[in-house]
Structure 1
Amino acid sequence: MDRSRVASFAAGLLIANAAPHLATAVTGRRHLTPLAGRNSGPVVNGVWSALNVAAGVGLLVWSAGGKGSRWDADLVAFGIGHVAFAAWMAASEAVAPMNH
């Protein structure tokens, strides 16, 4: 598999993970993060969201590696990363709720 596809997939995972943490930060709630555990407050969630976005964008920039400004199969890999994260979160919260 092409390295840029793997990087785009990972970027999709990271950027999809940023959204719930950003929402948590904006609404002032608590949500599990690896930085401070189950009771991570809004500031920690904001930081975790920003780290995920930065890493995701960094991977996208790296995967583009001079290919120009058009998406190719990397866009599909990015989308699959998004969907994979959403499916994993839905299944894991249904089986073992961590954020309730």
Structure 2
Amino acid sequence: MSSSRFRSFVAGMLVGNSAPHLATAITGRRHLTPLAGRDSGPGANAAWGMINLLSGLLLLSPDRHRAPASWNSDLLAFEAGVAAFATWQVVAERILRVTVRG
């Protein structure tokens, strides 16, 4: 796997992780974050969601020494990262009950 595709895959995972945290922040609910633990409130989720989103976007930023290319296989790697994270999250919640209670 090329460096570019690996970065795109990791970026997809980070962007995928940002969505539930930002949704939690917007809806005023609580959700596990590394910043404040299991009962992280909206502020911690907003911060963690933005950290993940911005980190993912920074990984996608083009190399300064090359003209931006088309997505090609990098888009597939990004989408695979989002899908891998979403799959892991579903399995973790269903089996390990990491954040879902009851």
TM-score, length-scaled by structure 2: 0.92
Q: Percent sequence identity over matched residues?
A: 49
Q: Which runs of 5+ in 1 are unaligned?
A: none
Q: TM-score, normalised by structure 1?
A: 0.94
The 5 A counterparts of 1:39-54 are: 39-54=39-54
Runs of 4+ residues over 6 Å off in structure 1: none
Q: What's the counterpart of residue 83 of structure 2?
A: 83
Structure 2: gaps of 5 or more residues: none
CA–CA distance in structure 2, aligned partners of residues 15 and 72 of structure 1: 19
Give 1:69 shift. Answer: 4.6
- The structure whose residues are more often helix, as a share, is 1
Please name the residue that 2:74 is paired with: 74
Output the CA distance in 2 between the equivalents of 1:98 and 1:2.
Answer: 33
Q: Which residue of 2 aligns with 1:10?
A: 10
In 2, Cα distance between equivalents of 1:46 and 1:69:
32
Q: Which residue of 1 aligns with 2:33?
A: 33
CA–CA separation in structure 2 for the residues paired with 1:67 and 1:98:
42
